[in-house]
Structures are given as structure tokens and as C-alpha cells.
Chains A and B, each alone.
Chain A
């Protein structure tokens, strides 16, 4: 057994999305409903069969090379965003331990500080009718 550390992780963004990343976070969630009835003295809940993932991946924008633009754009001109389709992405916790799913991007957060850093955060939401494909290495 090995305990995962942050540098075991990685993010594979969909084709057309680019940045030098060093952090990601994701929340896998289900809607739950309270089905408590008369006479119950504690809440009963049911979890939906529909799973969702939302999260973000952050790092540093790249430039001055080929294929470094953070998100897809039309060939142009004008070079407008052409990113609505999203694509397949993979979040890795460690070698062989991944979540793979289709995603769309709800927002990109840029931050540039003159005497500090330049960062970009991709905020994604799952777009996958059967949820994420989970791999987890249990061979050790």
C-alpha cells in the first residue's frame, strides 16, 4: 500500500485546452431527498441514481509556443471562443487511480498580478450520461 501525495496527481484536459497545471479539485455528488414520514423519529433519505461532478483545475497559462491557448477558439478571424462542446478529461490521484468523464467548462478564472503570479483556473461540470469511469489500482 502507498499513501497518495499531491505530486502523484495530474489532470488531462480535453483536446484544445492548455495550461501548466498544479492543482485540481472535484466533488462527486448526488441529490438526496428527504422521505421522512409521519411517525418517523429520524430523517430518512434517498440518494438519486444520477451522479454529478463539479470541480476546478488550476495552474499557469502558457504562451510563446504552439498549442498553448487555454481554450478552443474558432480559426477566425475573429478568433472567438469555440469551447461549448467541452470534451473528455481525466483526473488522476495517483498512477492507476483516475476519474475519467466528459465535461463542459462553465468558466475560466484568470488572475494576473504585476508583482506576483499569472494563474488560470478551469471550472468544469460533468457532461457524461453514465457518470465517471473510475480506475483504482489495487494490485500492490
Chain B
């Protein structure tokens, strides 16, 4: 089930919002990775990960899942914090308050929980934003 939540979240993160791409993909040249980026990846890039979803059961057997996703934007220090903040804003605009298809669920609904702030982390800047995805099984 959590696989479906991951897939639903990624489907929005990689969605085509025009010209076969979206502003986040364009900003990071399609470098969007789950959990961890490959070593020595070119910056900037986006990494997203999911925390274990909470489940809420109903008497009918239906289960509502609520998962938190962290979306981290990494960029070169020399690009400056504004560049990271700009990508982070694009991530928020792309994901916040969006309905997505989640297999076996009524729908998935993504909403922003916290906004990222660029911080220096060694040789790169990093900004973490969190989102919640809520989806209820249909049977």
C-alpha cells in the first residue's frame, strides 16, 4: 500500500504541467530521486522520501493512510540560497493542495505541511519541505 502512496506522490512531482515537463523538473533537469541521490550527482537535484504512513481503520474495513513526505532540494553553495529557495517554491507550487491518483484508493490529496529554508550543509545548500498525502482505500 505504501508503494502506491510513493507512486502517487512521484506522479505529481514528475507530472507534465505543460511542454512535457513541469517547473521543478526543468529547474533540476529531471534529477528527482527517491530516498537518495546517486553519488556525485550533478546539482541541483531533488530527493523525496516517505515516512511510514499512519493508518486509520473504519468499521467497513476501509483504511485511510496519511503519509509525510520530505522533499529536499540540494544545490551548489556558489549558486546561493536564493536559487535553492526558488526551486523549493516551485516544489511547493507543484505539490500543495493537489489531488493525485493512488492505485486502490479514492484519490490521494497532497498538502504542504512545512516550508523549507535554505541551509548550508558542507559544500551545498539544502532546503527540506514536508508534505502530507492522504488517501483512503476504496474497498
Q: Do A and B actually bind? A: yes
Q: Name which of B2-10, B54-62, B78-86, B117-125 contacts chain A.
A: B54-62
Give the interface residue-count category, chain B.
10 to 19
Interface size on A (CB < 8 Å)? Answer: 10
At the interface, yes or no: B115 with Cβ under 8 Å from chain A?
A: no
At the interface, yes or no: A87 with Cβ under 8 Å from chain B?
A: no
A21 touching B111, Cβ below 8 Å: no
User: Which residues of chain A have C-beta atoms less than 8 A from B111's C-beta?
Assistant: 115
CB contact list, A33-87 vs B, under 8 A: 59-60
CB contact list, A1-50 vs B, under 8 A: 7, 9-11, 20-22
CB distance from A99 to the nearest CB of B (A): 15
CB distance from A89 to the nearest CB of B (A): 13
A20 touching B57, Cβ below 8 Å: no
From B56, which residue of chain A is reached at the shortest CB distance? A22
B59 touching A11, Cβ below 8 Å: yes
A7 touching B60, Cβ below 8 Å: no
User: Which residues of chain A have C-beta atoms less than 8 A from B56's C-beta?
Assistant: 22
User: Which residues of chain A have C-beta atoms less than 8 A from B60's C-beta?
Assistant: 10, 20-21
**10 A/B residue pairs, CB under 8 Å, sorted by A:** A10-B59, A11-B59, A20-B58, A20-B62, A21-B58, A21-B59, A22-B56, A22-B57, A59-B59, A115-B113
